[in-house]
Amino acid sequence: MSAEGNDGNGPRGTGSGNWEGRSIHLIGVGGAGMSGLAWAAHRLGASVTGSDRSDSSYMERLRDAGIEVTVGHDPANVPDGAEIVVSTAIAGDNPELAAAGERGLRIRHRSELLAEISSSRRQIAVAGTHGKTTTTGMLTYALRELGHDPSFFIGGELPGFGPVGGAANSGWGEGEWVVIEADESDGSFLTLDPEVAVITNIEMDHHGRWENLAQLRGAFRDFAGKARAVVLPVADHELAGELIAEERSITPFDLSRPGPGELELAVPGQHNRLNARAAVGALMAAGFGEAESAAALSGFPGVKRRQEFKGECEGARVYDDYAHHPTEVRAALEAIREFDPERLIAVFQPHLYSRTKIFSQQFGAALSRADEIVVLDVYPAREEPVGPLAGVSGLDVLRAAADRAGGKPSYWARDLDSAERIVRTRAGADAVIATIGAGDITKLSDRLVAS
């Protein structure tokens, strides 16, 4: 069908931009979000360059597309007359950013470029503390299955959407819809103008940005208030009531609705069944039928690093997951439990000292659902263990897990090498291994299956 269904507000997506002749330089281009913007701007006709402090698979994809990207930050990387695009992670003393300021170049946050690029399409934007990457992937996959050619921006890699059938984190299609993973971590999702807004859930995270849950909920309220139609959890009566009062179309979702009584999915886990219900609701809000929306999701293969099967190690199946919040860790382990392993070995690397300090007990409770537990030290990303974060360690998580695990084997791994040694001694045909975290622990899963 053509999916032109809309109410009196009419379809969005009337923006336009003259991209030919524009020079855009992205500082920190090696991540999922920034690399996706670089690729789309290049596809639209802009001259795009970028840099990052270290190389990545995302940068390799940009090189393959003919985009000049550089490892390392140097003022010489910045083209004359370029628009400069940065993410929240770029510090003010970055040499390229400082040079751009001295030269009077236009400096923009990545969210502004995302909003500009997306303005030429009808937008489905997916926000939420958990599940937004997978739900965005589900919607992108389903729209293609329904005969459309969507554009998309995802904070992960979607198999089958890249060159030669590979994975991709962004794409610029010919269809009328763009599906966007909307980031609440820095408030940048408020720059979007969605026709359909999806809220998967609202839970505290990113404590450096949001003071409390009320403030965070207020931001989600503002995000949803921009949309014609909103898909949100059944349990969020308060937000639904506020939006109904403003004559927004509301589609609630839970494990049984919308959609048929049973959803056929290729991915495990109750959280994925919830994500799929949200996706069905968004497709229906976009004008598609209930049955065809549900059917279009049945073959969804998942997103890389979300319960991703990597191979085998000493006879054990190895899965890799990006979970970095206690709720996500619990959901990942519960999903992998559906494979019915005799032994589930969880290997967890905490991400950020601040998050570890706040959630160490909750991480321990989540990890105690495994049969054996291995914890690495914190992956610091942008943080240092100083001031109020001094003394924070992955040992805090291990102690909490051991306290709740009732004598289950629990191990401390100082680094990836020691984690690999421990896991190899514990692996066997009766086991499933789950490497979990948002840092470089994904390298461990690659190492485990390499031999």
CA separation for the pair 86, 187 (Å, rounded): 15
My answer on whether 167 and 272 are in the same domain is yes
**CATH value at residue 52:** 3.40.50.720
259-304 tens-digit pLDDT: 887 889 999 999 999 999 999 999 999 999 999 999 999 999 999 9
3-state secondary structure the chain: CCCCCCCCCCCCCCCCCCCCCCEEEEECCCCHHHHHHHHHHHHHCCEEEEEECCCCHHHHHHHHCCCEEEECCCHHHCCCCCEEEECCCCCCCCHHHHHHHHCCCCEEEHHHHHHHHHCCCEEEEEECCCCHHHHHHHHHHHHHHCCCCCEEEEEEEECCCCHHHCCEEEECCCCCEEEEECCCCCCHHHHCCCCEEEECCCCCCCCCCCCCHHHHHHHHHHHHHCCCEEEEECCCHHHHHHHHHCCCEEEEEECCECCCCCCCCCCCCHHHHHHHHHHHHHHHHCCCCHHHHHHHCCCCCCCCCCCEEEEEECCEEEEEECCCCHHHHHHHHHHHHCCCCCEEEEEECCECHHHHHHHHHHHHHHHCCCCEEEEECCECCCCCCCHHHCCCCHHHHHHHHHHHCCCCCEEEECCHHHHHHHHHHHCCCCEEEEEECCCCCHHHHHHHHHC
Query: What mean pLDDT do residues 249-267 have?
Result: 88
Tell me: do 102 and 211 sit in the same domain.
no
Q: Are residues 211 and 235 in the same domain?
A: yes
Reply yes or no on whether the pLDDT at 421 is more than 70: yes
Backbone angles phi, psi at 327, to 5 degrees: -60, -40
- The residue-averaged pLDDT of 109-119 equals 94
Among candidate residues 62, 82, 109, the one where a domain is terminated: 109
Interval 115-153: pLDDT, tens: 999 999 999 999 998 899 999 999 999 999 999 999 999
Hunting for tokens 């100083």 — which residue is that?
386
Domains contained in the chain, number: 3
How far, in Å, CA of 215 to CA of 186, rounded? Answer: 12
pLDDT at 17: 64
pLDDT, residue 260, reads: 82
Entry pTM: 0.85
What percent of the chain has a predicted confidence (pLDDT) above 70? Answer: 95
Residue 262 in any domain: the answer is yes
238, 266, 296 - which closes a domain: 296
Report which of 313, 322, 294, 312 is spatially closest to residue 435, judged by C-alpha positions. 322
- 280 and 181 in a common domain: yes
- 346 beta partners: 373, 434
> Looking at the domain assignment, is residue 363 inside a domain?
yes
Kindly tell me if the per-residue pLDDT of 1 is higher than 70: no
Write the CATH number for 414. 3.90.190.20
Q: Does residue 17 lie within any of the structural domains?
A: no
Q: Report yes or no on 4 lying in a domain.
A: no
pLDDT score for 210 = 64
From the list 230, 231, 236, the residue with the least C-alpha distance to 276 is: 231
32 closest CA partner among 63, 64, 61, 66: 61
Q: Same structural domain for residues 262 and 340?
A: no
Asked if residue 208 and residue 157 are part of one domain, the reply reads yes
Mean pLDDT throughout 226-244?
84
For residues 280 and 221, the model is more confident at: 280
Residue 181 lies in a domain: yes
State percent of the chain over pLDDT 90: 74
144 with 207, same domain: the answer is: yes
Q: Is residue 15 part of a domain?
A: no
Query: 235 lies in a domain?
Result: yes
Q: pLDDT tens across 180-199, in order?
A: 999 887 778 899 999 999 99
Domain encompassing residue 89: 23-109
| pLDDT tens by residue, 3-14 | 333 333 445 554
Q: Which pLDDT belongs to residue 8?
A: 34
Query: What is the distance, to the nearest Å, from the Cα of residue 373 to the centroid of all Cα atoms in its chain?
Result: 25
pLDDT score for 6: 35
Q: Do 86 and 189 fall within a single domain?
A: no
315 lies in the same domain as 398 = yes
CA 14, CA 266: separation in Å to the nearest integer?
Answer: 36
Please report which confidence band the pLDDT of residue 208 belongs to, taking 50, 70 and 90 as the band edges.
low
pLDDT in tens, 9-49: 445 554 456 899 999 999 999 988 899 999 999 999 999 99
Q: Higher pLDDT residue, 50 or 220? A: 50
Query: What residue type is 183 in one-letter code?
Result: D
In the numeric block, the tokens 């995000």 are attached to 223
pLDDT at residue 11, as a whole number: 53
pLDDT surpasses 90 at 401: yes
CA 278 – CA 253 distance, rounded (Å): 6
pLDDT at 127: 93
Average pLDDT over residues 60-81: 95
Based on the fold, state whether residues 282 and 201 are members of the same structural domain: yes
User: Which of 245, 261, 296 corresponds to the end of one domain?
Assistant: 296
Question: Which amino acid is present at 308?
Answer: E
Q: Are residues 268 and 207 in the same domain?
A: yes
Beta partners for residue 153, in sequence order: 170, 180
Q: How far apart are CA 442 and CA 322, in angstroms?
A: 8
In a domain, residue 9? The reply is no
Q: Are residues 277 and 393 in the same domain?
A: no
